[in-house]
Amino acid sequence: MASTFLFLAEQAQAFVLRNPLQVNSIEEIIAAISNYIFYISIVGAPLGILIGAFMILFSAGDPGKVDKGRKIILWTVVGFAIILFSRGILSVIKSVLAI
């Protein structure tokens, strides 16, 4: 019985816990998340604008569909602008705090 516990203790020392996120601080986690959101928005913003444009293009004169297409384009641009401003704010905060 004692040899079993000794064997388990030796095996536990060989176990290495690796960092799956590949970051070492909270600042790096925030930067990684903001980069991920930024790159997704770079792909998503043109797609949203294209969807709104196609909705306007294929509306066949229906004012409701034209208005919906304009709103999609408007809110896509607003969302992308917010993401750009937040990225700028993060860089200003990093430079002020000298991280």
48 in any annotated domain: yes
32 in any annotated domain: yes
Determine contact, residues 34/87, Cβ cutoff 8 Å.
yes
9 in any annotated domain: no
- 32-91: pLDDT as tens digits: 888 899 999 999 999 999 999 999 999 998 999 999 999 999 999 999 999 999 988 888
At 38 the pLDDT is: 92
14 in any annotated domain: no
Q: Which residue range forms the structural domain that includes residue 39?
A: 25-97
34 in any annotated domain: yes
66 in any annotated domain: yes
pLDDT tier, 10 (very low <50, low <70, confident <90, very high otherwise): low
pLDDT tier, 31 (very low <50, low <70, confident <90, very high otherwise): confident
Overall number of domains in the chain: 1
pTM of this structure? 0.70
Determine contact, residues 43/76, Cβ cutoff 8 Å.
no
At 92 the pLDDT is: 87
